[in-house]
Amino acid sequence: NISQLTTINILVLKNLQEIISEIQGMTLYDIKGLNLLGEPTDETTIEVVKREGTSMSMISRVDKDRRLKGSKRTIVQRGNVYVGKGRKDNRSILCIPLVSAVLSRANRIEYLMLLHINFKESVSLSARIKALGGKYEHIKNIVLESSVSWSDTLLEQVEISELFGRSAEKIGEFIVSGIGRKA
């Protein structure tokens, strides 16, 4: 339900539509035990409530240990959409925090929807920059700090799944090391 998305996450998802070609699977997690401010505690739990597609055959750490921790905990803390790679399987993922549909718990994250995605093979430079959002400036600053002049075309050196699957630091280092090899 779109009412379970924050305004900023709606904008992020709109920009990501231009780079995602396919959703292969989905896991919906229920988040329980947040504090009064909607923040995770040591007692916060996560539970799989639904799986579809490729996710049906996957085993999740959550199946054995229901404590909310790691990347999923960070996503709940920050409330932001996350695009990256699975820590264990290295698959491209999109994780979307969903807030409560109940008015008395509005703006409290109740679910995480994790999607296994594929990226489009050909994505324009402008679509890459738009989809990167704030990460674009972070990458650019890392490159500039290395005394390398910036050009947006440097982003074209990075495979799309890496551009959205790795941290800004790793991407910046990759770009700088590529320029060093060419010099």
Q: Which residue has the higher pLDDT, 129 or 90?
A: 129
Considering the chain, what percentage of its residues have pLDDT values greater than 90? 79
Answer yes or no: is pLDDT of 153 > 60: yes
pLDDT at 183: 45
One domain, residues 102 and 132:
no
pLDDT in tens, 164-183: 999 999 999 999 998 755 54
Q: Rounded to whole angstroms, how far apart are CA atoms 161 and 91? A: 9
Task: Give 85's contacts (C-beta < 8 A, 6+ positions apart).
Answer: 91, 92, 93, 161, 165, 166
- Across the chain, mean pLDDT equals 92
User: Domain span at residue 166?
Assistant: 125-182
pLDDT in tens, 39-90: 999 999 999 999 999 999 888 888 899 999 999 999 999 999 999 998 778 8
Q: Rounded to whole angstroms, how far apart are CA atoms 44 and 68? A: 6
pLDDT at 181: 56
Q: Which residue has the higher pLDDT, 72 or 103?
A: 72
One domain, residues 45 and 129:
no
| Domain end among 99, 119, 139 | 119
| Domain end among 104, 119, 134 | 119
